[in-house]
Amino acid sequence: MDKKGEKIALLDIHEFASFADYFIICSGTSNRMLSALADMAAETAKKNGARYARVEGKPDYGWIIVDCGDVIIHLFTPEKREYYSLEKLWEKAHTLVRIQ
CATH number belonging to the domain at 6-99, selected among 3.30.460.10, 3.30.70.1060, 3.40.50.620, 3.20.20.70: 3.30.460.10
State pLDDT tens for residues 8-57: 999 999 999 999 999 999 999 999 999 999 999 999 999 999 888 999 99
Domains of the chain by residue range: 6-99
16, containing H or E segment: none
| CB burial of residue 81 (10 Å; 0-12, 13-18, 19+) | buried
pLDDT grade for 6, boundaries at 50, 70 and 90:
very high
Exposure of 71 by Cβ count < 10 A (0-12 exposed, 13-18 middle, 19+ buried)? middle
So what's the pLDDT on residue 1? 43
pLDDT per position as a tens digit, 49-66? 988 899 999 999 999 999
Largest CA distance in the chain: 37
Q: What is the pLDDT of residues 89-98, one digit of tens each?
A: 999 998 888 8
What's residue 94's pLDDT? 87
How far is residue 81's CA from residue 75's CA, in Å, rounded to a whole number?
A: 8
Confidence (pTM): 0.91
